[in-house]
Amino acid sequence: MSSSLIVVVGLVLVVIGVVIVAITRRSTSAIIELPVRKPVKIIDRLYNRAALEKRMAELPSSQTVHVNRDEVIALMKDHIFGQDPVIEDVVDSIWGNFLAENRAQPVGVFLLAGPPGSAKSRFGQALGTALYGAQGAKAFNLASYSGSHSGSGLFGAPQDHQGGAGMLSEYLIANPRSVVILDEFEKASNAVQRLFLDVWNDGCFTDHKLKRVVSTVDTIFIVTTNAQEDQMTALAASYKNKPVELEERVREVLKHDIENSVLSRIERVFVFQPLDRIAFAALVGSFIEEVAGRYRITVTSVEEEVAYRYGLKHYGEKIDGRAVSGAVVKDMRADFIRLQKTGVTRAKVGWNAKKNTLSITADT
* Amino acid letter for position 347: A
Alpha helix stretches (DSSP H) within 34-83: 42-46, 49-56, 69-77
Instruction: Name the nearest CA neighbour of 181 among 138, 152, 150, 219.
Output: 138
Strand partners, 360: 349
Instruction: Name the nearest CA neighbour of 120 among 192, 189, 181.
Output: 181
- pTM here is 0.75
The span from the CA of 111 to the CA of 318, in Å, is 19
CA distances from 334 to 22, 232, 289, 294, 330 (A): 88, 38, 14, 12, 8
| Same-fold call for 69-271 versus 277-362 | no
The span from the CA of 123 to the CA of 272, in Å, is 10
The span from the CA of 300 to the CA of 298, in Å, is 6
User: Which positions ≥6 away from 187 have C-beta within 8 Å?
Assistant: 142, 143, 145, 146
DSSP string, 184-232: TGGGS-HHHHHHHHHHHHTSEEEETTTTEEEE-TT-EEEEEE-TTHHHH
Task: Spell out the CATH class of 277-362.
Answer: mainly alpha
**What's the pLDDT score for residue 162?**
66
**What's the pLDDT score for residue 346?**
96
User: CB-based burial of residue 35 (10 Å sphere; 0-12 exposed, 13-18 middle, 19+ buried)?
Assistant: exposed
DSSP string, 258-285: S-HHHHTT-SEEEEPPPP-HHHHHHHHH
- pLDDT tens per residue, the chain (364 residues)? 555 555 444 555 555 554 444 444 444 333 333 334 444 455 565 667 676 667 666 654 444 455 688 999 999 998 898 899 999 999 999 998 888 777 889 999 999 998 888 899 999 999 999 999 888 999 999 999 998 788 888 998 776 666 678 899 999 999 999 999 999 999 999 999 999 998 999 999 988 888 889 999 999 999 999 999 889 988 988 888 898 999 999 999 999 999 999 999 999 999 988 788 888 888 899 999 999 999 999 999 999 999 999 998 888 767 888 899 999 999 999 999 999 999 999 999 999 999 999 999 999 8
200 alpha-carbon distance from chain centroid: 15
The H or E element that residue 90 is part of is helix 84-99
* In the chain, domain spans: 69-271, 277-362
User: What number does CATH give the domain 69-271?
Assistant: 3.40.50.300
The span from the CA of 60 to the CA of 303, in Å, is 46
